[in-house]
Amino acid sequence: MTARVRKIFGMAILLPMAGTCVGKPAPNDPLTESLCSLQRKVSEGNHESVRVSGIYGPGLDHTVLEEPSCSGEGTWVELELQSNQNKEKLRKMLGQSKRAYVVLEGEFYGPPLPDPKLPEPIRKSYHPGWGHLAAFKTKLVVHTIRDVKAVPPDHSVQGTRNSLTFSNLCVI
């Protein structure tokens, strides 16, 4: 759950909103989505353009994006950067701590479809995946690295159990 600040009768009120940016986003910024909600909603064989946040690591290659509130459900990450924005900052942070909080834009893919040439009984029970040893249900192809921040040593997540906060950027 996320929150949005709104002034009502001169008072600042915090309103719950799903996936809403607060702070000072650009006027037409796309919304940053929770990795957990993306993993739940993207269907098999489909993909969508997203802005998503989470914990990225351990390196620039063979990388996983995770969110503490849905641990164990990582997303395989492939870089197809259209810009070098924040790439060096991310590389340095990963070199120091092997992980970073990131806000990324790209294409989010749901579970791949089984090969239609497989016999029906196998297709129904076979669930192909992405990444190393096809171990991941979802994949993110990153086009832009929007923000990079250090992960606190205690993995603390601010706000509710289902939120990940980037100060003055977005509440997911």
Q: 22 lies in a domain? A: no
pTM: 0.71
User: What is each CA distance from 58 to 18, 92, 96, 154, in whole angstroms?
Assistant: 28, 12, 10, 17
For strand 63-66 and strand 47-57, is the pairing parallel, antiparallel, or unpaired?
Answer: antiparallel
- What pLDDT shows up at residue 6? 43
pLDDT means per 10 residues, the chain with 172 residues, are 41 39 37 90 94 91 86 90 95 93 96 92 90 93 96 55 35 36
pLDDT at position 24:
33
What's 138's domain CATH number?
Answer: 2.40.50
- For residue 138, tell me if it sits in a domain: yes
Q: Is residue 143 part of a domain?
A: yes
**Which residues fall within 8 angstroms of residue 60, CB to CB, at 6 or more apart?**
79, 87, 90, 91, 94
Say if 157 falls within a structural domain: no
Cβ contact 141:80 at 8 Å: yes
* Within a domain: 79: yes
Query: What's the distance, CA 170 to chain centroid?
Result: 12
Tell me if 115 is assigned to some domain.
yes
Residue 39 belongs to some domain of the structure: yes
- Please count the other Cβ atoms lying within 10 Å of the Cβ belonging to residue 150: 11
Residue 165 lies in a domain: no
- Do β-strands 47-57 and 32-34 pair in parallel, antiparallel, or remain unpaired? parallel
Number of domains in the chain: 1
70 Cβ contact list (under 8 Å, min separation 6): 35, 36, 39
Q: Residue 128: which domain range?
A: 32-149
